[in-house]
Amino acid sequence: MDGNWKIFRAAGLSVFLTGALGSGWAAAAETRCGWIQNPTPGNWWFTDADEAWTIRTQGTPWEPLGMDRIGDISAGDYRKSNGNYGYGCACAEADTSIYEGEPYITAIHSFTQIPLSRCDSDPALAQ
């Protein structure tokens, strides 16, 4: 994918999310539990039994409402996988959406980091 396409796609997603959330449209919040991943600067994903959700991608101009609720996951039960970056296990009350076939978390209402053993022992969560 060339750089211009990425810029247009990011701008489109930003407009979509701003319009959808700013217009009073709201998805029902769902409780989701799974892997919270921060593998590199600015990149965040959440993988549960249903989907691998994009929370934030480095270089895009948007992030979900409530991103600050995640906090420093390295302060909890956490595995380093790339220097200071890594992953943990968590439950979040979140709004989700599919945009151009890609799953996104659009708002985080609550976030609780839980022991890694919960995700490790859940057969529905791929490692």
| Predicted confidence (pLDDT) per residue in 99-116, tens digit | 999 999 999 999 999 999
Q: What is the pTM of this model?
A: 0.78
pLDDT-derived band at 14, boundaries 50, 70, 90: very low
Tell me the residue type at 80: K
| Predicted confidence (pLDDT) per residue in 36-91, tens digit | 999 999 999 999 999 999 999 999 888 999 999 999 999 999 999 999 899 999 99
Q: What distances in angstroms separate CA 78 from CA 23, 54, 124, 125, one per listed residue?
A: 37, 19, 20, 16
Q: Which two tokens stand for residue 95?
A: 């709004």
pLDDT for the residue numbered 5: 35
Q: Mapped to the 3 state alphabet, what secondary structure does the chain carry?
A: CCHHHHHHHHHHHHHHHHHHHHCCCCCCCEEEEEEEEECCCCCEEEECCCCEEEEECCCCCCCCECHHHCCCHHHCCEEEEECCEEEEEEEEEEEEEEECCEEEEEEEEEEEEECHHHHHCCCCCCC
* Sequence-ordered alpha helix ranges (H) in the chain: 3-22, 116-120
